[in-house]
Amino acid sequence: MDTSFKSLIKYFKNYFPLNEEEIEELSRRFTERRLKRRGFVLQQGDVCRHFTFVVSGCLKMYAMDQASKEHNLQFAAENDWITDLGSFYSEKPSSAYIEAIEPSVILQIKHADLLHLYIRYHKFDRNFRIIIEQKYIELQNRMLQSISSTAEERYLSFLEQYPKLANRLPNTQIASYLGITPEFLSNIRKGLIKKS
């Protein structure tokens, strides 16, 4: 069993741990990919065919507005999941991109293979339900913050949600996620340093 796959098995120990038969089935259903920086998992207009687990590196999901400005929706680094759920389940074209910010190693499962796991092994149904529920909670919290929090509060929330990414991501990526300019983000950071 390779290192990438061991990371996935270890991840599931946080929920409903897998037995040997389930591990064997999982190994047949997931495919490893290596991405260079700026490599795409998904491009706008394509159907999202995979649910993606990040073994190493960092990915972002973003949309582009009419002025070709990026708006980051989500980040996924080690031991996290990323997919365009709407496109993945509906099989309709996505309006988002998923791109590697850093060189990355990912494991991917196709929709049909995931459904097979749900039906054949109920533990996968429960595990992925928890994963999707957590992503929904993150999205709900993000929506509430965008309408009721200051930029500084949103930044502090970002630090809480992605503690390991603050020093890995360029200011431009974080600012895009927060909906502010990189200059304003620099001012927030300076202000927080003065407060502490």
Q: Does the residue 61 lie in any domain? A: yes
| Domain-located, residue 191 | no
In a domain, 112, yes or no: yes
Give the span between the Cα atoms of 29 and 109, in whole angstroms: 6
Look at residue 137 and tell me if it is in a domain.
no
Please state, in angstroms and rounded to a whole number, the distance separating the CA atoms of residues 107 and 187: 38
Cβ atoms 8, 55 nearer than 8 A: yes
**pLDDT value at position 24?**
94
0.75 exceeded by pTM? yes
- 165-175 pLDDT, tens digit per residue, is 988 999 999 99
Average pLDDT of the residues in 1-23: 90
Can you tell me the mean pLDDT for 154-160? 92
170 within domain boundaries: no
In a domain, 142, yes or no: no
Q: Using an 8 Å Cβ cutoff, are 46 and 84 in contact?
A: no
Average pLDDT of the residues in 134-161: 92
CB 53 within 8 Å of CB 114: no
Q: Is residue 179 included in any domain, yes or no? A: no
Q: What is the DSSP string of 97-128?
A: EEEESS-EEEEEEEHHHHHHHHHH-HHHHHHH
The pLDDT tens digits for 139-152 are: 999 899 889 999 99
- Domain of residue 56 covers 3-123
Strands 50-56 and 80-82: antiparallel
Q: Grade residue 196 by pLDDT with cuts at 50, 70 and 90.
A: confident
Instruction: Tell me the pLDDT tens digit for each residue of 81-99.
Output: 999 999 999 999 999 999 9
Q: How far apart are CA 44 and CA 63, in angstroms?
A: 8
What does the alpha-carbon distance between residue 51 and residue 80 come to, in Å, rounded to a whole number? 11
| Structure tokens that stand for 69 in this block | 């400005």
The number of folded domains in the chain is 1
Read off the DSSP letter of residue 78: T
Tokens 């509430």 label which residue? Answer: 144
CATH number at residue 9: 2.60.120.10
Query: Does the residue 154 lie in any domain?
Result: no
Question: What's 162's DSSP letter?
Answer: -
